[in-house]
């Protein structure tokens, strides 16, 4: 019997290394408006709260709201066409997920990335793996992380509850999401935040490899 019967995963920085494609789409949108580009390290710090905040952080201070909105639309257009150019699972992720499925663990993805990109990436990279997949869809009344609404929606989709659930992520947003959802959090160290940043955010349980993650979830 697994230690946890339900595992809910963040996507970017947890299952998939998406950072280079996010940087390239951000810089393409900025360049289209004559704005300075950002380094990979800059974009690493900008991500985690959805693409609207990514662009808000990326545009120069004082950018008018209508121009910022245009940059955001250009980002979405570029990213929809290029979200898989350099993106792939972290080493060991497919094998780890397969071991959890074989043990009967229900699996879900909840991400602040736009829903169209989440659905496409999960279907392409992990076909038939997840029981529920949710991207950002605040227009449907589901608040993005760290609010618990996305986790609650995923659980409802799977017919599960919080009992026996664990949340897996790589950022301060994920630590807060787990706390707001009333469940334990396993924080991976291969993602977009440093251990020091994660400790400052309140992370308490770290996993350094996918093998360790599988062992903790399976017990």
Assess contact for 109 and 177: CB atoms under 8 A.
Answer: no
**Are 8 and 167 contacting, i.e. CB atoms less than 8 angstroms apart?**
yes
- Check if the beta carbon of residue 70 is closer than 8 Å to that of residue 63: no
**Which of 10, 21, 74, 170 does the annotation list as catalytic?**
10
HSE toward the beta carbon, residue 131, CA cutoff 13 A? 21
DSSP state of 111: E
10 is an active site residue: yes
The residues carrying an active-site annotation are: 10
């Amino acid at each position: 019997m697994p230690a946890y019967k339900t595992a809910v995963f963040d996507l970017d920085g947890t299952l998939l290394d998406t950072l280079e494609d996010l940087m390239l789409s951000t810089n393409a949108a900025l360049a289209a408006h004559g704005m300075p580009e950002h380094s990979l390290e800059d974009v690493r710090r900008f991500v985690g709260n959805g693409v609207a905040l990514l662009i808000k952080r990326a545009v120069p201070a004082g950018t008018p709201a209508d121009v910022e909105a245009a940059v955001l639309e250009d980002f979405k257009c570029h990213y929809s066409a290029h979200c898989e150019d350099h993106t792939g699972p972290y080493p060991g992720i497919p094998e780890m997920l397969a071991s959890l499925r074989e043990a009967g663990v229900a699996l879900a993805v909840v991400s602040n990335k736009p829903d169209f990109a989440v659905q496409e990436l999960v279907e392409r990279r992990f076909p038939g793996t997840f029981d529920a997949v949710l991207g950002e869809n605040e227009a449907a009344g589901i608040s993005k992380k760290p609010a618990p609404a996305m986790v609650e929606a995923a659980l409802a989709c799977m017919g599960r509850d919080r009992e026996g659930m664990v949340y897996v992520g790589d950022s301060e947003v994920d630590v807060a999401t787990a706390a707001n959802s009333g469940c334990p959090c396993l924080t991976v160290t291969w993602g977009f935040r440093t251990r020091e940043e994660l400790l400052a955010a309140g992370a308490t349980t770290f996993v350094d490899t996918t093998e360790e993650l599988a062992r903790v979830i399976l017990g």
